[in-house]
Amino acid sequence: MGSSNDSQVRLIVFGRQGAGKGTQASRLAQNHGIPHISTGDMLREAVREGTDFGKRAKEYMDAGQLLPDDVMLGLVSERLSRPDTSRGWLLDGFPRTAGQAEDLQGLVADGGITLAINLEVPEDVVVDRISSRRVCESCGTIYSVGDPSADSGKCAKCGGTVVQRDDDTEDAVRARLATYNEQTAPLLGWFEAQGLLANVDGVGSPDEVATRVGAAVDERL
Active site residues: 21, 96, 133, 165, 176
CB 75 within 8 A of CB 42: yes
- Per-residue HEC secondary structure of the chain comes to CCCCCCCCEEEEEEECCCCCHHHHHHHHHHHHCCCEEEHHHHHHHHHHHCCHHHHHHHHHHHCCCCCCHHHHHHHHHHHHCCHHHCCEEEEECCCCCHHHHHHHHHHCCCCCCCEEEEEECCHHHHHHHHHCEEEECCCCCEEEECEHHHHHCECCCCCCEEECCHHHCHHHHHHHHHHHHHHHHHHHHHHHHCCCEEEEECCCCHHHHHHHHHHHHHHHC
User: Could you give phi then psi for residue 63, rounded to 5 degrees?
Assistant: -90, 0
177 exposed, middle or buried (CB, 10 Å; 0-12, 13-18, 19+)? Answer: middle
